[in-house]
Each structure stands twice: as C-alpha cells, then as structure tokens.
Amino acid sequence: MEKLKREDIKTLSAQLQDGWEVAEERILRREFKFSDFLGALAFVNKLGGMAEEMRHHPDLHLSYGQVTVEFTTHEAGGLTEKDFEAASRIDML
C-alpha cells in the first residue's frame, strides 16, 4: 500500500462523516461518545470484529463513555486508502 498524498487525504476526508480528523497527515482519528462504559465497550467489540475481518487494526482508547479510534498504516509510514475504507465502515456501525 502506498502512502496517500495531501490532496488525496483531503478528498477522502471529505467523504467521511463529521468527526474524523487528520493529525500530522499520518493519523486518522475520531472520538465516539457513549452514555456509559458498557456502551463504549460494546462498540469496541463490534469494531474489533470489523477490523479483524478487514485485517486492518486501529489503535483504540477506551474509557468511561468514550472511545477514540486512530488509524495509520505503519508499513506505508502514513495514511492509505485502507485507513479511509475502515473509517467509512465504522461510520456504518
């Protein structure tokens, strides 16, 4: 997989739901809010199944009522189309 160029990152970012942000042109991040810990944990479990199916795993930060999801493709040294595909699938969960 090839690392995306700045223009491609902007184009693909515009296709995602609100809330996703790109940090340093190498991390795609979004925070999700929940009313309690169990809701956040259930989301993480669904997301984990999707990530395993795609064979593309995000960094997940779970806390009470909140999950932060971060994608980057380490092999490419930045963001790839697969990161944006995974984010789009999360938007559908």
Q: Model confidence over 10-69: pLDDT tens digits?
A: 999 999 999 999 999 999 999 999 999 999 999 999 999 999 999 999 999 999 999 999
Q: How many domains does the chain have?
A: 1
Strands 21-23 and 27-33: antiparallel
- pTM for the whole thing? 0.93
Residue 36 belongs to a domain: yes
Taking only Cα atoms into account, the Rg of the chain, rounded to an integer number of angstroms, comes to 13
pLDDT band, residue 93 (cuts 50/70/90)? confident
CA distances 45 to 2, 18, 40, Å, are: 29, 22, 9
Tell me the mean pLDDT in the region 63-81: 96
Instruction: Give the range of the structural domain holding residue 54, as residue numbers without chain letter.
Output: 6-91
Residue positions annotated with a catalytic role: 52, 56-57, 74-75, 83
Residue appearing with tokens 């609100």: 18
Alpha carbons 48 and 35: distance in angstroms, whole number: 20
Cα angle 45, 3, 83; round to 5: 20
Q: Is residue 1 part of a domain?
A: no
CATH of the domain at 13: 3.30.1360.20
